[in-house]
A and B are shown apart, each in its own frame.
Chain A
């Protein structure tokens, strides 16, 4: 049974011409491309800021930037990487892959889909323009803690509105994803048959809808505290600065799962394909993801162990946080069991997936260590935590994005990317990443606080190693751009619909021609048979 979709104005299988195509498009593939391109640009903008930070930290003393500018870089680097690079990249994957994975003609609400993307460039514009304002950009860290953030100059309202736009974009995109998954699955594509990537995005979308509005409310309170005389965070008026932290982390903790769950999804596709075995324990993977999603709502104050909570609260947040290790462990063990007795090959997507696994597990270990309040009283706000969350968000999130790009790029373009350069990109990234972040564990344990532009002499060596790693990691990303650009230009071998050996048994999308047709992905394809084949 072929997919028939009715189109508003005309039937065509090739995209329209001109730049307006990209502004007015309602096609999930176009919007996916827009998201991914935007993410790539922001990845380089945020990356450049990271290099400013690392360059300044190469030596003790100030060489390049003034501390206030350094703090702006720290703040914007995080905001841009989280909201501009990683989240849009996963939204790009969702747009490209969810409809073909579930046998849908497109996303359920195509106009809304366009809007979710086209809010982002304006948010980015608002945010980055604050760098040039009186008083500079926000310099209070991406966590925007008051009262410090209320000392920001003219940038404050612009930044807050930028967060509103980002939140609105995420909420609309999430609504679209949930509706698509609930309502547009092909007959026979039951929820439990649905691929892991769709599952992880479904739960991510729930999380986004639940937490983004809370962030919007919290930053609105910042705005009114600063400009409309309210006292939410002002103790003299009966408020509490720590209240903001609770609201922020009610958003912020699920936010890190919002980044990592789609990554889990991608990895759950790549490992089975290159192990030539079905994913081990698919059902328990689904349950584990749901449990992680639930737990993410009830652990937020483990980011605030040092603010002075009553001891019972600290104990509660410690126990609930530790629990997260259980479903996360299940996922890791399932991936290992998928590899066990498989028939493994190590193309670039698989290398990145294994890189993900190694780095994420290390990040998980430090996570378990930090969940313990007594030990965290030491680790809190020093470089140990910086190492930890880069291992999970970059080692986890970004390496999964790399894996996903290499895995699906041939499906999107019809061209096999340059495998040699792909592997080189992986090895340089993996090496650079570890040189960059592993020494930061030692810096933290030795007592170096985070978010400082200058440090005591005993921290010099590890900071120098870290900076060298940062430049290796940063410049290695130019290779990614080159590899992707070549594939888009059509340089390279053409691939068939399956792309990877035996991939047809790992998902509907591998039944479609490569590249997938612009419209009517499933024209002439028997979805029922393809689902039954899996």
Chain B
């Protein structure tokens, strides 16, 4: 009875793993509109399939033993307990597999971390618990915090159900607006504790460290709204400082910049 259960569970585990590999957004990493995101997705899938292949061998041997070498079928155990050749083989093969993983990983990493050649810069400063965005070239800056509806629904004993809020916890008052097809460099830092800036559709995340500046880059290829969250525990409202990036065409971006500038000027007066 227990044997069947184990087999069943293994089947479930393996099929779920396979499912995770092929299925839609909710089970797996999203493929975003950037080179980095695709690189990370490809690498992730490659690593999963390597693991599935090893898993088939390891679990295959294990369940073969469980089925065929149980006492009722195989009452007299063999006495061997050593085999140098075998041991060398299963030391060397994993090394080769790891080299096979390390080479593409190294290539991908070097591209991801190369923040040179930026066409524009955005400075991101994390606060407890909101984001501050600054466009040094445009002279624009603003805070981006959780939107009002989410903020109401998230309270303990709130009368507004989260299900009724569009994009619950993933909506802000002022999204970050960026142009598509431009290599944007993000300079990320913090004003208080450590936070992390992460938009899953872009793949990478970077910690916002107070007193130090980290860098990352994206070139977004498709207009759209991309959502993310703070991913480093930063205190009480860590769950409530989302990131919304609105990628628009160059023209739309220019008009948005003009609007914001005007707005800032009126506010200053």
Contact = CB atoms under 8 A, between A and B. Distances in A.
Asked if chains A and B are in direct contact (CB within 8 A), the reply is yes
Interface of A: 59-63, 65-68, 71, 74, 139-141, 145, 147-148, 151, 234-236, 240-242, 275-282, 284, 306-308, 311, 314-315, 318-319, 322-323, 325-326, 329-330, 332-334, 336-346, 351, 354, 357-358, 361-362, 365-366, 368-369, 372-375, 377-378, 380-382, 423, 427, 430-431, 434, 438, 441-442, 445-447, 449-458
B61 A457 contact: no
B110 interface: yes
A340 B240 CA distance: 53
Nearest to A449: B231
Contact of B69 (A62, A344, A372, A377): A344
Interface string B172-198: 000000000000000000001110101
Interface in B14-33: 16, 20, 25-30
B170 interface: yes
A141 B193 CA distance: 13
A307 B204 CA distance: 12
B192 A147 contact: yes
Interface string B151-178: 0011111100111000111100000000
B90 A315 contact: no
Contact of B239 (A241, A329, A454): A454
B28 A241 contact: no
Contacts of B29: 378, 445
B235 interface: yes
Contacts of A434: 9, 13
Given A147-B193, A308-B212, A314-B113, 13 more contacts: A141-B233, A145-B194, A277-B77, A306-B204, A311-B113, A339-B62, A342-B74, A344-B65, A361-B55, A368-B98, A442-B28, A447-B30, A455-B169
Nearest to B234: A148
B58 A342 contact: no
B42 to A, nearest CB: 9
B102 A322 contact: yes
A447 B194 CA distance: 19
Contacts of A339: 62, 65-66, 69
B212 A277 contact: no
Interface stretch (B43-51, B130-138, B249-257, B259-267): B43-51
Contacts of A329: 90-91, 94
A338 B230 CA distance: 47
When A and B form their complex, which 4 residue pairs have the shortest distance between CB atoms, in order from nearest? A235-B211, A452-B239, A447-B200, A308-B214
A277 B78 contact: yes
A326 B99 CA distance: 12
Nearest to B74: A343
Nearest to B12: A434
Most interface-central of B101, B192, B237 (chain A CB within 10 A) = B101
Nearest to A307: B207
9 contacts: A61-B162, A62-B158, A63-B156, A278-B81, A306-B204, A322-B102, A337-B83, A345-B71, A446-B26
Grouping DSSP codes into helix (H, G, I), strand (E, B) and loop, the B interface class, with mixed when no group exceeds half, is mixed
A282 B9 CA distance: 30
Nearest to A382: B231
Contacts of B236: 67-68, 71, 139
A119 to B, nearest CB: 29
B117 to A, nearest CB: 16
B246 interface: no
Contact of B77 (A67, A333, A343, A380): A343
A357 B137 CA distance: 56
A284 B50 CA distance: 25
Given A343-B77, A377-B203, A147 B194 contact: yes
B47 A375 contact: yes
A318 B102 contact: yes
B153 to A, nearest CB: 6
B235 to A, nearest CB: 6
B269 interface: no
Contacts of B50: 368
B2 A427 contact: yes
A381 B28 contact: no
Interface residues of B, number: 103
A452 B231 CA distance: 9
A445 B102 contact: no
Interface string B76-119: 11111111001100110011001001100110111011000000
A340 B61 contact: yes
B142 interface: no
B109 A452 contact: no
Most interface-central of B155, B168, B196, B207 (chain A CB within 10 A) = B207
Contacts of A63: 156
A148 B235 contact: yes
Interface string B204-220: 11110111101100000
B55 A369 contact: no
B40 interface: yes
Contacts of B6: 354, 358
Contacts of A333: 87, 90
Contacts of B155: 62
Nearest to A357: B62
Given A60-B162, A372-B43, A377-B40, A343 B94 contact: no
A309 to B, nearest CB: 9
A373 B111 CA distance: 12
B101 A322 contact: yes
B220 to A, nearest CB: 17
B13 A275 contact: no
A357 B110 CA distance: 36
Nearest to B52: A365
Most interface-central of A67, A332, A361 (chain B CB within 10 A) = A67
Contacts of A453: 239
A330 B69 CA distance: 21
B39 A374 contact: yes
A141 B106 CA distance: 31
B20 A454 contact: no
Contacts of A59: 162
Contacts of B258: none
